[in-house]
Amino acid sequence: MTRAERAEFVHRRLAELYPETPIPLDHRDAFTLLVAVLLSAQCTDERVNKVTPGLFALAHTPERMQALPVEEIRAAIRSCGLAPRKARAISELSRILVEIHDGQVPGSLAALEALPGVGHKTASVVISQAFGVPAFPVDTHIHRLAQRWKLASGKNVADTERSLKTLFREESWNKLHLRIIFYGREHCTARGCDGRVCEICRTLFPARKSPVRTKKA
């Protein structure tokens, strides 16, 4: 198969496997999604979903969040990795949203990436899932699978994002990035598949003999 043919098979098969694409992080609106995605850095979605109900019971708007002492935010999210740093970022970004954005989460990458603790991936998730703007956030699962399926070189996350955006139609990005994550967690895991085990790897590369060594995100 050519790279384009592999991309077409991946797109079609993942749509069959995952017709619905629910957002894995529980949230109410753009602000709670932003906070949840920020918390998910070096932390599982499952853990975040256990932490956020308590945090959002204390404050679920920028106005209320900025009024909380940082120590109280940190206590609510302490089981997430990097809790002190994330607590400061949540407090500060909430203040900025109130003072600069009228308490609203901005719908542009540039404005989101200017917020404390918000990198390109976090901003891409928020604009795609909260605002419907086409984006292709690349996490560790997507970076790994793109290499196993030879859709990207694995040079770095930015290169993987550019490659996938070139291969797939823009209107498919928002659902497709979630479908790849779902498949990576369920079938083509870091240890459960080495590029020769799961259905898609076997279909794309039936003659592959050696494990695929992937570069980390």
Would you name the residues annotated as active-site residues?
Answer: 121, 139
Nearest-angstrom CA–CA distance, 205 and 188: 14
Terminal C-alpha separation, the chain: 26
Residues 6+ apart with CB under 8 A from 107: 30, 127, 130, 131, 133
- What tokens does 63 get? 């106005």
